[in-house]
Amino acid sequence: MMKPSLPKGIRDFLPVEVLKRKYIFDTIEKVFRKYAYIAIETPTMENLDTLTGKYGDEGDQLLFKVMNNGDFLRKSDAEAFKEGDSLRFASSISKRGLRYDLTVPFARYVVMHQNDISFPFKRYQIQPVWRADRPQKGRYQEFYQCDVDVVGSESLMYEAELVKIYDEVFSELRLEVEIKVNNRKILAGIAEVSGLSDHFMEMTVIIDKLDKIGSEKVVEQLQGLHISEDTARGIISLIGAKSLDELSLAFRDSGVGQAGIEELKTFHSYFDLLECNNKVVFDPSLARGLSYYTGCIFEVKSLETEMGSIGGGGRYADLTSNFGLKDMPGVGVSFGAERIYDVMEELGKFPEDLSIAPDLLFVCFDQAGHLKAFQYCAELREKGLVCDVYPDHGKMKKQMKYADSIGVKYVGIIGDEELASGTVMLKNMRSGEQDAVIIEDLLMKIRMDYLNADSFKI
RNA sequence: GUGGUUGUAGCUCAGUUGGUUAGAGCGCCUGAUUGUGGUUCAGGAAGUCGUGGGUUCAAAUCCCAUCUUCCACCCCA
């Protein structure tokens, strides 16, 4: 016998966990649909060349590759094998991979189906993705992403709409968050006025760590890009700006910086018309690693717990040009469902009445009772009651113990007396009380109990 | 990918400087109770000590490798 196990970083889910996860997904999906986004799905596997080169070298390392079928060794790159070049050899025996995120497959989808969809195209997608990352807190090799994007429009109306969607979902989940907003053009402006335009990516990676490693370390690392300490400190003060006005003076010689300010002002002209429950703050230090963002960027942090970001997104000017379609701007955000789950679990924010237990379980003593229970159960199911029949008659203790362990709210006992009188001995498993109820009244009796007592909430 | 950490019964964990037959609690099964669960009592089943090597008269215990867990870094949701 083999010991059962799972590959690292991936998980099973118990019924109660599935229920909680569904609660999160359903909440998110409901809001997506309300804002007129529609669902699409893309396959688990993509061609490897669709995925490679889109996430940087690090991303390529983290792609799960699927080995070719058939006599793949014959066609493999023997030279790469001899040289011990894993990456090159792998690509010679693997032409497919598991999707790494939902955005790149979406870009591929938009290009392939451009004649079948109308723009602006508002889509959402809730599906698992896979990364061969080393697992740790809030980080798994298989996890769900919940993406909403709109492609085919440059309107900053959508930025406002997406921030509102964040606010609405997290309000619904009763999580207090801070939604950070910035614009890549602000960062480009900072790079420009600091003489770092050629090291833009490196600069953003460093300043993104500001709240993690502190300003001194950031200054130190920025100087590694061959700028003076004064310039580095200048960058710190720019990304510490609290308002757009503070930046506009600094950006008087930076066209891109000014464009960033304009975009954020336009964003606000829409966004300020909306009611929001959560804090939405301008944070010039927000960078986001993904290189395809070109305009506004967003990140959501939980205010109640120490968790990394639980959502992020932004605008990209030309996501689809990789696949041969120009001038297709888009903007989108993603919800980190796994981390949201962990945060909600930690804070005890799941609703108390999420229940996986049936309303009623029939138990009985002999075959005649069992058949009657089976019949009653079918009738009650027709009327919408979630009920079940214990599969074996006989040992009452065993049946009751099962009823208790699944948390069922009522047990219906059927024995000789009940058969003779057309009743069911209805036992309330919370209170322990029981009464003989004629079968016609059973459903009503249960419904009345439900209305009168909230004792059924777990 | 780098560094650290963890693994003993279904679960949570004890297990002394290496030394008889590896323990506990919970859970599970049986009975006290042949029409009643969640309480109590009595009894019982259950472990190749992650896996593979090595050292030793002797290894859960020491050494090496490997897998896994969790954590930090890199990066990210």
A353-380 confidence digits (pLDDT tens): 787 889 999 999 999 999 999 999 999 9
Nucleotide with the nearest C1' to A419 CA: B35
> Residue A164 is inside which H or E element, if any?
helix A157-172
Separation between Cα atoms, residue A178 and residue A280, nearest integer Å: 6
Q: How far is the CA of A426 from the C1' of B38 (A)?
A: 17
Q: How far is the CA of A17 from the C1' of B28 (A)?
A: 23
Nucleotide with the nearest C1' to A400 CA: B37
pLDDT on residue A222: 85
A232: pLDDT strictly greater than 90: no
pLDDT on residue A360: 95
> 3-class secondary structure for A335-363?
EEHHHHHHHHHHHCCCCCCCCCCCCEEEE
Architecture per CATH, domain A15-347, reads as 2-Layer Sandwich (3.30)
Answer for the pair A175, A345: CB distance below 8 angstroms, yes or no: no
Length of chain A: 458
Mean pLDDT of A176-182: 94
Strand B positions with any atom < 7 Å from protein CB?
1-3, 28-30, 33-38, 50, 67-77
Nucleotide with the nearest C1' to A404 CA: B37
Q: How far is the CA of A3 from the C1' of B49 (A)?
A: 15
Q: How far is the CA of A341 from the C1' of B50 (A)?
A: 29
Nucleotide with the nearest C1' to A141 CA: B77
Q: Cα A236 vs. chain centroid, distance in angstroms?
A: 32
Look up residue A151 and give its two tokens.
Answer: 């492609």
Domain ranges across chain A: 15-347, 360-452
A9-36 confidence digits (pLDDT tens): 998 888 888 999 999 999 999 999 999 9
- Closest protein CA to C1' of nucleotide B38, residue: A404
> 3-class secondary structure for A204-261?
HHHHCCHHHHCHHHHHHHHHCCCCCHHHHHHHHHHHCCCCHHHHHHHCCCCHHHHHHH
Q: How far is the CA of A58 from the C1' of B6 (A)?
A: 28
> 3-class secondary structure for A21-82?
HHHHHHHHHHHHHHCCCEECCCCCEEEHHHHCCCCHHHHHHHCCEECCCCCCCCCCCHHHHH
Domain boundaries A360-452, CATH class: alpha beta
Separation between Cα atoms, residue A92 and residue A84, nearest integer Å: 13
- Closest protein CA to C1' of nucleotide B27, residue: A405
Rounded to 5, what percent of chain A is helix, strand, coil? Answer: 45, 20, 35
pLDDT on residue A402: 92
Q: Report, in angstroms and rounded to the nearest whole number, the Rg of chain A calculated over CA atoms.
A: 29
Q: What is the ipTM of this complex?
A: 0.87
Higher model confidence: residue A148 or residue A89? Answer: A148
A77-131 confidence digits (pLDDT tens): 888 888 777 778 888 889 999 999 999 999 999 999 999 999 999 999 999 999 9
Q: How far is the CA of A27 from the C1' of B70 (A)?
A: 31
